[in-house]
Structure 1
Amino acid sequence: MSSLVSFKDVFLEFGDQKILTGASMSIEPDERVCLIGRNGAGKSTLINIINDELVPDEGEVHTRAHLRVSKLQQALPSESNETVFDYIKGGLANLKQLIDTYNTRIEADKQDLRELQDLQHRIEEGGGWNINNQVERILTEMQLPGEKSISELSGGWRRRATLGKALISQPELLLLDEPTNHLDLSAIQWLEDKIYNFQGSILFVTHDRAFMQRLGTRTLELDRAKLRSWPGSYHKYLKDKERLEEEEQKQNALFDKKLEQEETWIRQGLKARRTRNEGRVRALKKMRDEYSQRLKPQQQVRIHIEEGELSGKKIVELYNIDFSYGDHKVIDRLSLKIQRGDRIGLIGNNGVGKSTLIKIILGEITPQSGTVKLGTNLQIASFDQLRKKLDPEKTVAQIVGDGSDYIKLHGKERHVIGYLKGFLFSPKRAMTRAGVLSGGECNRILLAKLFTQPSNLLILDEPTNDLDVETLEVLEDKLGEYNGTLIVVSHDREFLDNVISSTLVFESGNRIVANAGGYSDWLRQGKALQLDEASLKRSKSDKADIEQKRKPTKLSYKLQRELDQLPGQLEVLEKEISDLHQITSDAGFYDKDYEEVKAVMNTLADKEQQLHSLTERWAELEEMQLELVRSET
C-alpha cells in the first residue's frame, strides 16, 4: 500500500530562518507519528504543508489521490452562537461539495459515467449521502448536545466538539497540533482514549510526554530544519537518540583528530607544498565541507532558581475554610497543614477550586468562613501573579530586568541579555516585544522573571503550558533541586510525577483528598481501592483524607444491606457494558438505522453513568464502614 504523504528534498525559509532543509519523510497507513522539536522549530508549519495550507519553496510533496485529511485545530472554537450541530456539520464541507458536483453532473445532458462512478465512490467512502445522519452519529458517539451553542460549552467539551468535527469526514490521516493544551486531566484522558482507538493514521504535536508515550508508534524529530525518523515509542526514541549521540561524539572526535592532522600537513613549509598530493588536498577540502555542515550542539536551557532564606517550619495552616461563588460551593470545610519542604500537586478538573485555594493562600481572596494562618519568614513567588504583568509592548529584556540592564543573582549583578540566553533567547530575540512571541516563548519569559525573585515558597499555576519537552525536563531538574516549599497546579501527568511528593485531589462533591506520592501513585491507589476490597477492610492505620463529622457506632440495617448488594449490582452492570461495547465495536454498527444506533449509544451512556454512581456509592459506604472499624479500635 502506498504512503499517505511523502516529502522529498523539501526546503522552506521564513526570512532568514530556515524551517526545512532537504527534508524527506513519509507517513504510512495505520501509524501514529509524534512530531517533536523545540518551540519555533516549525512543527506547525510542517503540519500546514501536509494540510495544503502552505507551499514549500522547493521540493516535492506527494499525497495519495483523494486522501481524506482532517486537522484538529490547536485553538478551541471562540465564543459563538453557532450550534454544535452546525459546527460539526462544517467538517463535511468537502463531502457536501462532492454531492453537489455529483447532482450537477447527473443532471447534465452529457454524462461521464466514469466521473460519476468515481464521485459516487468518493462520497460513499466519505460516509454516504445523508449528511445530517452523519452529524447525528457523531453527536451520539461523542455524547454532544447538538442543540446547544458553542459558547455554552466548557473548554473540555469544545475540544470534544473539535474532535467530532475532525472525525466526521472519516479521515485517513488526522493532524493534531497540541490537542491537550488547556484541557483538564479527565478531558485529556478522554481525548487520549479516543485518539488511541482511531482507525487511521495520525501525525500529532504535543508537549505531553504521557500522551506521546501511549500514542506514538514512531517519532519524527525536527531539529534545525532537518527531519529524522525514529521507530517505536517515545521512550525508545529517547534511548536510541542517546546511544546515537554517544556514537556520533566518538566518530566526531576521530574525524576532528584526522582533520587537525591534515590541516597541519597543508600548513607545512614551501618544499612540502611543492610536492604535496593533490588528491589529498581535495580530500581535505571535502573534510572541511563536511565539518562545516555538521550540526553543532544546540544551546542548552540553563535555569537557575534564586532561593530565599530559610522559612519557618509551618508554611500554611487552613482550618475549616469554606468558599463559594454565589450558590456554587467550591471548597467545603477544608483543613490543611503545609510544612516546610512539602512538594504538593493540586489535581482536579477545571473549575473545582484549585486556583481558588491558591488565591486563598496568597491572600488574594478571603474564605467565607474558617481561618488561614501563614508561617514566618515566607518569601513567596507565584507564577500566576506574574502572568498578569506581561506587557505586550515591552521587550523580553525590559520585562525580565524591570527596565534595568542588570539583574541580581546570588547577590551579584548579571547582564539581563546573558541571563536570557539560558532561557534560549538570543540577543536579538531578547530585544523583541513580548506581544509578537509564541506561547512557549511567553512562558519562558515568565519563568525567567519568576526565578530572579528570592523565594522559599514557589506557587506554580500551570507552568508547563506551551513549553517544549527540553525546557520541561530542565525545569523539572531545577525544581527537584529547589530546597523550599512547592505548590503546583498542572495537568501534565509526567511533570507532576517528577516534581511532587504528595497530591491534593479535588474530587466531585467538594471532597479534597490528600495522598502521598505523585499522579501515578494516586492512580494506583484508586485502582487498589476498587480491586482489593479485603485489604481496605483490614487496614486500620490509614489516615483519613479529610476531616469528617462523628458517625454512629455501626451502619444501619438499611445501609449494611445496600452495601452487601452493591458488588453483585456492579458485576451485572460491568457485564452489560462489556456486551454493549462489543456491539458498538462491530465494523458495521454505525451503518445501521440511526434510531437503532442512537438507542444503543444512549443505553451505553446510561449504564456507564449508573456504574460510576454505584462505584462512588460503594466507595462511600466502604469508607463509612472503615471509619467505624477505626473508631472501635
Structure 2
Amino acid sequence: MLAIHGVSIRAGVKPLFENASLSIHPGQKVGLIGQNGVGKTTLFKAIMNEVPLDAGQISVPANWLIGYVEQEVSDSKLCALDYVCFGDSQYAELEAKIKHAEQLDDHDALVRAHDEMDRISGYEVPQKAQQLLAGLGFSVQDLNKSIQSFSGGWQVRLKLAKALMQRSDLLLLDEPTNHLDIEAVAWLIQWLKSYQGAVLMISHDRDFLDQVVQGIAHIQHQKIHYYSGNFAAFERQRNEQLMQQHALHEKQKQQMQHLKTFIERFKAKASKAKQAQSRVKALERMEQVAAVQATNPFHFEFFEPKHQPDPMVKVENVDFGYDDKPILQQASLVLRAGDRIGLVGVNGSGKTTLIKLLVGEVEPQAGKIQISKGVTVGYFAQHQLEALQLEHSPLQHMLTLGEEVSDQQARDFLGQFGFTNEQSLTPVATFSGGEKARLALAMIVYQRPNLVILDEPTNHLDMETRDALDMALQEFGGALIVVTHDKHLLASIADQFWWVHEGKVTLYHGDLESYLQTRLKTLKQSQETQKQAERLEMDRPVQNKKQLRQQNAQRRKQLDQLLKPHLSAMKKVEKQMEKAQSELDQLHELMEDSALYEAENKSKLTEILKTQASCEKVLEESELEWLELQEQIELCTQSFEDSQFD
C-alpha cells in the first residue's frame, strides 16, 4: 500500500503539512480535497519524490508502478495515437527496439522484440488507445493529427489519455475533469470504476467524487483527515462533527431561512416555478450539510439588478466559422430577463464561440446579435485570468473599476472573496489559478451586472469557492448563461438549456436529466434514419443485385461482430433502466396514498423516500452509461464505414 506517515512539508516558511499521515490500499480510490493552497499538488510531488520531506516518510511498494499526468507534452511531433500508445512504457520501449532492429536488419533481435511484444499483449495497445481517445471526445480523423495541431484544452485531454494508458498500480490525477465536457466526464467515471489499481485524485467536482471514490482525504490545518465513503458521506460526517459546535448552529439556521424565504417568494409565480424548484433541491441538501457550509470562509452575493430589459439579447440567423469551417449556422435565440441558461454540448461544438459572439469578442459572419439597451454583462472566461495585470494587487484592480470605490470599501469587498488585508496588497503574479479566478469573480460581482455569462468558472476553484459561487448564483436575480463540466453546479442553477450540436443551437426547457433524455432521443432518431437509408439502398434496382446482397450481408456480419460487446452491454443497461423505472412507478403509486403522510407512518415514508432516491440514482447512472455505449457504437460504426472506402 501507499503509506504516508508523519510527514511534514514546508513551502518556503509556510507549513503545508505537520505530522500528516494517510494510507491507500491496492484498488482503493480516494479523493484528495482541501482549499487551494493547502498542499494537494505538493503532496503528489512528494509521492513522486519531486519535493523533499522535512520529516516523516512516504513508502510505495517496490513493485508498484505509478501513473500520472505529465506537466508538458514530451514529444509534440508525434501524432495523437502514437503519443497515447507510448503512455505504455513497455510498449514504447519494444516499439523502439523493433524499429532499431529493422534499421540494422537484425533478424534475431527483431524476432525477440516481436515475441516480447506478444507476451505483453502489445499488439492490443493501439486499439486500447483508440478507445481511450474516443471516450475523451477525439474523432477518428484526430488520431493521425500531430499534437501541435491541437489547442491547449485538447492537449490536456491527450495528456490525460496518455496517463490512463500507463500500466499502473497507483494513478495520481490532479483535477482530471478540467477541460472535459459532461459527456467525457461520464465516460471517465465509467473508466475509473473499472480500473483495477488504486487512485488518488484531486478534484473539486462533488458529483464526480460521489460516483468514483470510496474515501475522502481532507487536508485541513496541516493534517490529512480520512473519511470513509464518497463526498456526500464526507459532508454528512463533517456535518455531525460541526453540529456539535453550537456557534455554527445559528449561522446554519440563517442560511436555511434565507433559502426558505426565496422559495416562498418565487414559487407562487409561474414564470419562476423552475427557479423555486431548484432552490427546494438546494434546501434539501443544505438541511444535511448546512454546518459544513457554515464553515465556508467565502461568502459573497451578486447585487440585485436595478432593472432588466426584456428581452435582453436577440440572436437572429447568425453564421460563424473559422478558416472556411462553419461552427454555427442560422443560430436564432432569445434571452429573456431572469433566464438561467445552461449551455451544453461536447467540446468543440461551438459553446465558447457562441459566448464570444454574445459578448462581442467576435462578429457574426451573417445575421445579427442585438443587445438591449441597459444590459450590463459580467463575463468570466479562463483567458481573462491571463489578462489580469500581474504587477498589480487585487486592491489596485478593484480601484480601477470606478472612482466612487474607496480604499477601505475595496478591502472589505475583497474580504468576502477570501482576500486578507495582506493578500489584497500582494501582486497578482504570485497568485494561484484559484486566487486569480476569485479576483476575476470579485471584479464581475462589483460591476453589478444584470446578465452573468460564465465559461467554465469552476476550473481552478476549490470546493469552498465552488459552493460560495453556487449559493451566490442561486440567489442572483438577473439572467445567467453558464458553461461548466460541473454537473452539480449546472443542475442546481440552470432552469433551461441551449444545446450546441452540429452547427445548430436548440432551445429547450428542463433540467439536466431532460438534456440527457433529449440526447438519447436524438441518437435513437439518428439510428432509425440510418436504418431507413440502408433499406432504401437495398431496394434500389441494380444489374447485379445478388452480388450486392452478398456484399452487404458480409459487411453486416463484420459490423455485427464488431458491435456485439457494445450491444450486449447496452441490453444489460436497458434492463437496469426498465427495472429502476418500474420500481419508481410502484413507489409513486404508494406515495399517492394520503395515509402514508400521517405521523404513525413516518418511518415507512422515510424508507420509501430513501428507496426512491436510490432508484433515481441507478436510473441516472444507467442513462449516462447507455449514452456512452451509444456513442461508442456510433464511433465504431463510422470507423467501420470509413474503412470500407479506404
State whether TM-score is above 0.5. yes
Q: Distance in 2 between matches of 1:574 and 1:156?
A: 35
Q: Per the alignment, do residues 612 and 244 of structure 1 end up closer, same or farther by CA in structure 2, a change over 3 Å counting? A: farther
> Which position in structure 1 is the counterpart of 2:635?
609
**Does 379-388 or 166-175 show the bigger shift?**
379-388
Which SS does the other structure have where 1:432 is aligned?
coil
Structure 1 residue 172 corresponds to structure 2 residue 166: no
Question: Displacement of 1:475 after TM fit?
Answer: 0.8
Structure 1 residue 139 corresponds to structure 2 residue 139: no
Q: Per the alignment, do residues 514 and 571 of structure 1 end up closer, same or farther by CA in structure 2, a change over 3 Å counting? A: farther
Q: Deviations over 1:248-270 (max 9, x none)?
A: 559999xxxxxxxxxxxxxxxxx
Structure 1 residue 513 corresponds to structure 2 residue 513: no
Question: Displacement of 1:518 after TM fit?
Answer: 3.2
> Which position in structure 1 is the counterpart of 2:563?
577
> Which position in structure 2 is the counterpart of 1:438?
432
Q: Per the alignment, do residues 403 and 476 of structure 1 end up closer, same or farther by CA in structure 2, a change over 3 Å counting? A: closer
Q: Per the alignment, do residues 197 and 155 of structure 1 end up closer, same or farther by CA in structure 2, a change over 3 Å counting? A: farther
> Which position in structure 1 is the counterpart of 2:76?
80
Q: Distance in 2 between matches of 1:198 and 1:26?
A: 19
> Which residue identity does 1:196 align to in structure 2?
K
The counterpart of 2:490, out of the listed 493, 496, 504, is 496
> Which position in structure 2 is the counterpart of 1:400?
398
Question: Displacement of 1:419 after TM fit?
Answer: 1.9
> Could you tell me whether the CA contact under 8 Å between 2:2 and 2:61 is conserved in 1?
yes
Larger proportion of helix: 2
Q: How does 1:3-82 map to 2 (within 5 A)?
A: 4-73=1-70, 75=71, 77=73, 80-82=76-78
> Which residue identity does 2:400 align to in structure 1?
D
Q: How does 1:452-463 map to 2 (within 5 A)?
A: 452-463=446-457
> Could you tell me whether the CA contact under 8 Å between 2:85 and 2:92 is conserved in 1?
no
Question: Displacement of 1:195 after TM fit?
Answer: 2.1
Q: Distance in 1 between matches of 2:130 and 2:345?
A: 26
Question: Displacement of 1:613 after TM fit?
Answer: 10
Which SS does the other structure have where 1:520 is aligned?
helix
> Which position in structure 2 is the counterpart of 1:354?
351
Q: Per the alignment, do residues 379 and 88 of structure 1 end up closer, same or farther by CA in structure 2, a change over 3 Å counting? A: same
Structure 1 residue 247 corresponds to structure 2 residue 244: yes
Q: Distance in 2 between matches of 1:507 and 1:370?
A: 19
Question: Displacement of 1:373 after TM fit?
Answer: 2.5
Structure 1 residue 449 corresponds to structure 2 residue 469: no
Structure 1 residue 428 corresponds to structure 2 residue 454: no
> Could you tell me whether the CA contact under 8 Å between 1:299 and 1:424 is conserved in 2?
no
* Identical counterparts, % of pairs: 28
> Could you tell me whether the CA contact under 8 Å between 1:47 and 1:175 is conserved in 2?
yes
> Could you tell me whether the CA contact under 8 Å between 1:180 and 1:188 is conserved in 2?
yes
Q: Per the alignment, do residues 447 and 44 of structure 1 end up closer, same or farther by CA in structure 2, a change over 3 Å counting? A: same
> Which residue identity does 1:501 align to in structure 2?
D
> Which residue identity does 1:210 align to in structure 2?
D
> Could you tell me whether the CA contact under 8 Å between 1:134 and 1:168 is conserved in 2?
no
> Which position in structure 1 is the counterpart of 2:515?
522
Which SS does the other structure have where 1:314 is aligned?
coil
Question: Displacement of 1:528 after TM fit?
Answer: 6.0
Q: Per the alignment, do residues 171 and 504 of structure 1 end up closer, same or farther by CA in structure 2, a change over 3 Å counting? A: same
Q: Distance in 2 between matches of 1:171 and 1:447?
A: 39
Which SS does the other structure have where 1:337 is aligned?
strand
Q: How does 1:44-443 map to 2 (within 5 A)?
A: 44-73=41-70, 75=71, 77=73, 80-84=76-80, 85=82, 88-89=85-86, 92=89, 133=123, 136=126, 138-142=128-132, 148-154=145-151, 158-249=155-246, 300-384=297-381, 387=385, 389-402=387-400, 407=405, 414-443=408-437
5+ long unaligned stretches in structure 1: 101-122, 254-296, 538-554, 584-603, 615-633
> Which position in structure 2 is the counterpart of 1:593?
none
> Which residue identity does 2:515 align to in structure 1?
W
Query: Which is greater in Rg?
Result: 1
TM superposition score normalised by structure 2: 0.67
Question: Displacement of 1:236 after TM fit?
Answer: 1.2
Q: Per the alignment, do residues 306 and 401 of structure 1 end up closer, same or farther by CA in structure 2, a change over 3 Å counting? A: farther
Q: Distance in 1 between matches of 2:401 and 2:248?
A: 47
Q: Distance in 2 between matches of 1:476 and 1:605?
A: 31
Question: Displacement of 1:580 after TM fit?
Answer: 6.2
> Could you tell me whether the CA contact under 8 Å between 1:88 and 1:162 is conserved in 2?
no
> Which position in structure 2 is the counterpart of 1:279?
none
Q: Deviations over 1:195-227 (max 9, x none)?
A: 222111100001222211111111110012111
Question: Displacement of 1:180 after TM fit?
Answer: 1.6
Q: Per the alignment, do residues 369 and 186 of structure 1 end up closer, same or farther by CA in structure 2, a change over 3 Å counting? A: same
